[in-house]
Structure 1
């Protein structure tokens, strides 16, 4: 018997001469760096019983002539870069008991002929983009004990023959597109089952109560499906159960309000570690028996349900808890003080309920607490000073309650508080204590909409790590201290709705990282700068400061009396010409497409420069008679042409033609006239997809910067304008890039002004563009900011994958959203456009890049879910994208 074993350190290609070792029985080459293809000469090894090539870098296809290794019993090819289909010739390996080809790039489905290998005991194709359905012929594998086909793009129903494999111990079909219901007798058909992974599919029907008979079951993962009906599993028979994950289903029993009665049956499950029942539409009270669950229970999540009543004090008996998440629900009453007994607790979330009374001092006993979420309740009284004992506290969110009193100095002295401190929308009073200087590593501080007053302490300038600071909606007054100039890392600063006075500090326009500044509704006076954040009207607001002057022309402020720096030249002009006999309107948005660099000296600009007097004949000449060769793009109500105005120094312009014969064009024109817009020389669609775009790179940093710019613009439209603006048609062709690769949202032809009366008729015409419009628009729902978020999510996924949502590969239930979702988290690299993946000099940097890619795709997937309330908030998107940018810029 000849065995070859090399476990580490080898690289290069595998020599085809190995095929000459005719007496070779076992070949072990795991955890090496072999590249190239697997030599087809291995098919000569007729005596070979075990071929173990896991964790290498083999590419190409699986050699079909491995079927000539007639004595092969184990074939391990996992974690390589193999592509192509699974050779149907492998079905000739009559002695094969183990076939493990997981973590590759195999396609073409699972060959039905593999069902002929009746000796099969272990089969794993986990995380391959196989596609297809599960062949019913696999029911011939009567010896099978482990079946792993998760994350394989499988669809259709699970064949009934699979449920006859009574020796199965592990069954994992997670993260596919499987449909239909489970057989009612599943628990009787799998008496040896220990692991059942069917999460992240589209399974329906009742979760069979017969699962109670799988007495050896340790892990039950059925979350993220469409199961319905009352949860009737008797868990008392599952004494070895370790993990129960049933979240994101619909288990409510009709007409009943005791959906948590099954908790009583969990008392015998002494090994239970994880219990996840979030977003299951459960209705009822949390029974006292919750305290009788296993002292090994580490993770308890029952948020996003409709639970009511009070939290029983018995919760304090779950001394093994690491994470407790009970919100949002409809819990009332006081937070039980017994929570203070949970000494191992690191994450506590009771947000989104109706808890009242004070925050218990006992929470200060949780010395390991890392994050605390109590926002959106009715909590009263002062913030307990006992929180100073939570020496590991990294993030605290007490926003949207009824808390009063002063900011506790003890809380501000916690050095661990480095992530976030959210105290907005309470009734806190007094000034900001000087002790705030101890929060030198804090990233996010939100004290907005309280009754805080006085001058801003100069100590705030020592919080040098702040990236977002919100002080709006308070009673602050006086001049801003010069010490704030040290907050150079700030990206968002909101000082609106206070009584600040004096001139706008000069250091604001020197902060390079500042993306948005809100100074509105204060008493600032003097000249508005035009540099830094002030050179972009969408990046700042000074509304409601009646003694300001100067600034950008778009601000329409009076000129300053004293002579100062010249104002920057406007970057766009608008001209409207009505040609009634031809039934169309020409809207000319004239933009200096070859605009000067930002460091060019600004010139004097008068209000008259905002409009150009251009005749129709000049436009006709500029666009060569509106020639199709000058056509930039088409929309539902308009066409856009490029042109050159010879009478205006050969300025390059974009001309939008509105077709009044199309229903809804008049309303679109009214909105566009009200909103205005900037036209740039290149849109994101062309930047991504045009084969002629050879002069522009598409690296990862550029893509994230573009996405951050777009998200910031949406955040401004949705949350920072006096009238909320919904764009309505966000897509790559409407995202315009200037010469500095800064992204600007354009084409507001379908925009909707929420709460404004501009004779809008949302039922007129098509809302948005196919592929980018959210599903709710397709059933006649009104346009909302959530719809823009969906479109942004699709846009993000297109920017990262370079696949359009209307790509031909997306059919039979597969969409761009699903395509990206199925890649999370371990296969994101496989779906990212190759141009975005840059080789890094160190393994640590490569890992950081991969983490950034995963985080970015998660944002896109979260934004583009079907349910509008479950989409990520755009302000959160901005924060998350900036975090990703920070990581990438430091690599």
Structure 2
């Protein structure tokens, strides 16, 4: 007996030597144990003394340290004890949607110096927000909205120089907005913060002028539903990055600052329900503005403001009870995107005439209680018009516009996806894929939707598609999502019911719920732009499968196992020693590979010499395998001659696109070498950046930044669900042109892309254009002839005919291809479509003696509907100069850039500001949304062409 005990002790000691790295750091375990004792309904597998080694639900570790706690919607209850300070390596704390989490936040939370995300949305926390939060220097996300916090906003938050997201809305905070004074910090110091969400509190006093400056980079300023008073400070006009401004439902007074129209990036403006006087603000030049609500203010108005029909992006004009007087101009109703005009309780008079060219999106004109005495009625279908309370209806008129329609809420719900719903058990719900399951549910609150037609199913379908794309990109076990019952609450938020259905089984586990909750609470999900800023409030999820802890062995069983171990101890000692030696050998081999990632590169193949790199990160095969879920089909987002493209998520949460070569592809090896050499040495905001590469275990993979809105081609054809108006197309053209110009003029040596096409121009989340795919690119080097003689490669329809005939590649070959892209932007047609070549079609149609060069028949209707006068003609001239048969007659890319800038200025756009608009859904968008990376988005096709495949002669 004594023998086996000695052997067992030796074995335990040896296991400690080899395995101690898997044990949780003692202080972290003690802190978690304290939290566990304080909380109820913790996950059942929170058992034992090794949270990291035993994979406690909701706990993530790095080596021995706990770095993340994410426990959303699991019905957790209790207090957050001061022992949280023991988790000194903690980076993320998310306890959202657990309404049983109550009490104050401990001041010791300020000891978590590594904390970057503190997310406590939709809980029951109360008391003041501790000022110690201001010591969390790494904090990026601070979301404390939808709790019961009281007291003032801590001025110390101004010390958080890395803060991106600050959401304190929907609490009971009071006092003034703190700004810096002497050594006391304030929110004006948060120059890098993008979001101030303080709505639906009890904040009072004036909005401090010092809060705003030209250094501030705010996107969203949400101060609605407070008790703020005084004037709107003129310094607000200095924050030209603003996109959403909500100051409504306060007690603000005085005149609106004259410089408000400096905010040319603002898309939603809410100033309703205040005490504002003076004239209506002049909004001229705010071309991206689509939602305006100035209602319920006693303005001093003498007529219809001239800007009312000059806002090209306007969808909703809400000016109820503002003293507006006069006759509405017919031009107002022809604004291309206009949906709602609400001007009841004003002094509108004369004849209501909406003209014959009113917007086909127009849904409602509400002029109740005005002085309209006639209506130039149009036959057939039109918008809903309400003229009750006007002279035209005073004599008992029975026309439809003299009757107040009954109020109805939209009953939108997700339709089944080509399947027949089956009856489900009473406690289960049928998904849109006709499967019965227990969904995770909650409400999405959108704080400034820029549309008013809640009956438009396409809008909500695009939201569902974006949600699914987000969950899939993070490899979450989601089968489908549904949204339903759109309504507006008392503070003007759009509220939607959300259900997320599990994949592979009828319920989620705790890890799945926590990760989905974290994606929504951490703002990982980016909704289509028309929905605006949002927050999610999840319900508790009671449908977890029973989870039992590890079995407990009886003493007799332990003795038996101990005896067996005693008899085998010598064998195990030898085995462990062998494993240790093997591990050390592999570590050494891995280190060598990392130091020389191209140690096995074979220059004898057609892949060329060993690539020469400048600073790109080398990934191991195992790293990329893990971040793509073993290259699962779910993460596949494209394919081509080179191989496949997969979506991946790096350990830091960054989304990437991974291009994986087919095994044994010699052509792929050459393209692989080209791209990593070129992209590792060129850096420009209009070029897709290379995150890294993998040359490991016979694999060749390129890791790019992920472009969420996919290819320009997909947007022009409608496949992505993004609507590109003329202004957005001009910005895209300029961005792509600047990217190509950088390659030609600033890269050293200059680079010819050789495959410019709309499938190789990708769009980021703000629709900024970036040129991609350098597999066919060529370095110019030092050549006096100005060209490189090389085998002809490119893509049919974009290929320079001079290059094809002479095999002499020049920078003007890229110019020709770019000209084809410009024609695509004008027409939304493919270069070769049903045997017709786009260059010939435009040339045949063009007549410069006629209006718009007689191009109406070939223009994309979206361009024709909202172009600026003269801009389309100049754009067409530029495109045709680029596709001249002789390269000598084509402009340089620097000239192309300058000309596009001139066209933008002609259209009233500033070419030196980035796009402030994001994706917007087509009404005609297909239900079957394709992922942004289509089959050719990252791949070039190369090979010979016959003259019949080029421009017809």
TM-score (norm 1): 0.41
Structure number with the bigger relative contact order (C-alpha 8 A, sep ≥ 6) is 2
